[in-house]
Structure 1
């Protein structure tokens, strides 16, 4: 059993560009990358757009007016994010998802980030994910990803407990500001209590028999792009993608209905909405799983 994602045989080699981009001056570094990726573009005419929705990284889009549909995204990794994000695994997820039509093209990596294709559409909000038509599209797209085989014939192992243990090891117990120490002690359980909860969760949840599939693991609203012209949704940002329990990806998405900065658990999907979502998901998952198995049988 293993947690590693395997890139399909024949996948193109990822281009590596030896450029470091200053996170405080992303545009200047992005222009250096554009010279490599789009040599025909006149950099004096390149337009840029800074995206501000990211929580851990800096993201800028680069394009020229002659071809506004060809937007190159330059993403600079946030400081010390390598402590919580497996960058090699992220690249593998990117390649696997792209090979299956679920992700944009990955143009290159550079010293502290990646460049990739912009996906046309609009990022969703907490009200959008409740819309019946969008809800169906989201459920179908998650099912499509969950049906992907990227484990090279091995039995995939969930990455959940490994990740939780790693995150737990990074939790600070003391802060330089005394006010922070007092607030944390008052509002957050101690590490000992949290560890007991982790042990309890692993003991109980590991026995439920939830299938282990390729998961997105971070399906907040802004990571869902709706292309109204094409009539589909796609998921973006694969930093946390890995093999995990099928039920985790679904439950985590439901939890994201409440939002991020201003939590409102009154927005958590009702039982009726959950059942509608799951019905669409299970029908799509059965369909995609059968297609995957038929494709594997034909290759063999």
Structure 2
């Protein structure tokens, strides 16, 4: 979801290493990368830890010191993810965000992945993101993202609808055996999905949400909080790019429900949202040099926009999960996840479309 991402001239070039890492037998390939990135390490002592939270790629942490103060992350792109992830855009986004202090060091890319700095801290869980102390820090960090001017004079545009149309075209017509039975039973027809996409484009595009540089995948595990140092960072920028401000926030609110055991009872209520959105707008205005005074009307407008764009988030990740059902080698029930997202879309639609801008 990006147009015209402009990498600052001051951003360092990122080396590309002609190395491929097997996602099943990754140790040899990862060690070759470490020999290039950390030549001073004793390579016979390199330890590797597989992180299991991600459901798009495989992620391995490489280190020699038991304290894990210096960890190189090796991310191996998921099988066939180039169908729906623009890797050139991801690299540009990573470099722009690092130039603005929002991303860790990027060490290199390789044939099927990239290596970057491990951010010390704790990956958050759903119970953390609604905590008053943390949600205000999260809101401020997202406002910092959204205030980055990274389009070199162009007026940014969202390609959410083009991206969604592309995902829709990639959804398989059928699956094998029992998976196909679940697909037919649990997922709306292609005709109905097409109708909903047309309706969303017309409805949401008219809400007046600004187009900003977005994270687009702000699930709980992509938020790292270092309690000792009191700072919070977002990770994983493969879906980053220009999109509607309200989409990014609505997508984050949907992620309050969690990933493995999804519970939409955890979706933030109106009171929590209004506090979150006020904190966000105060920070956003501050970063944009517009003071920090925020009116009740501004908060209410954003509230309506965010809750309606949350529908697009459900739909987008529902399509994504159907594509992953066919191609991914990661052990995750993608089809079940797609059914959950589409079910919540239709459950939420009457309530949020009853909201009107003040």
Same fold, judged at TM 0.5 (above): yes
Q: Secondary structure at the match of 1:21?
A: coil
Map of 2:74 onto structure 1: 74
In structure 2, distance between residues paired with 1:280 and 1:116: 31
In structure 1, distance between residues paired with 2:174 and 2:193: 16
Is the counterpart of residue 150 in structure 1 residue 150 in structure 2?
yes
Map of 2:161 onto structure 1: 161
Which structure 1 residue ranges, 5 or more long, are not aligned?
292-300
> Do 1:26 and 1:58's aligned partners in 2 also have CA atoms closer than 8 Å?
no
Q: How far has the Cα of 1:47 moved from its partner? A: 1.8
> Do 1:159 and 1:242's aligned partners in 2 also have CA atoms closer than 8 Å?
no
Is the counterpart of residue 259 in structure 1 residue 258 in structure 2?
yes
Where do 1:54-65 residues align within 5 Å?
54-65=54-65
In structure 2, distance between residues paired with 1:75 and 1:121: 18
Map of 2:228 onto structure 1: 229
Q: Deviations over 1:18-77 (max 9, x none)?
A: 001010112221111011111111111112211111112111111122873111111110
In structure 1, distance between residues paired with 2:184 and 2:40: 57
Q: How far has the Cα of 1:4 moved from its partner? A: 2.7
Q: After TM superposition, where is structure 1 displaced by more than 2 Å over at least 4 residues in a row?
A: 179-183
From the two aligned structures, give the one with the greater helix fraction.
Answer: 2
Map of 2:29 onto structure 1: 29
Q: Deviations over 1:230-286 (max 9, x none)?
A: 212110000100100000000000000011121111101010000010010000001
Q: How far has the Cα of 1:130 moved from its partner? A: 0.9
With normalisation by structure 2, the TM-score equals 0.79
Map of 1:297 onto structure 2: none
Where do 1:239-250 residues align within 5 Å?
239-250=238-249
Map of 1:43 onto structure 2: 43
Equivalent residues, number? 290
Alignment RMSD (CA, Å) = 1.4
Q: Secondary structure at the match of 1:239?
A: coil
> Do 2:60 and 2:75's aligned partners in 1 also have CA atoms closer than 8 Å?
yes
Which structure 2 residue ranges, 5 or more long, are not aligned?
291-358
Q: How far has the Cα of 1:207 moved from its partner? A: 1.0
Map of 1:207 onto structure 2: 206
Q: Secondary structure at the match of 2:258?
A: coil
Map of 2:304 onto structure 1: none
Map of 1:11 onto structure 2: 11
Q: How far has the Cα of 1:226 moved from its partner? A: 0.3
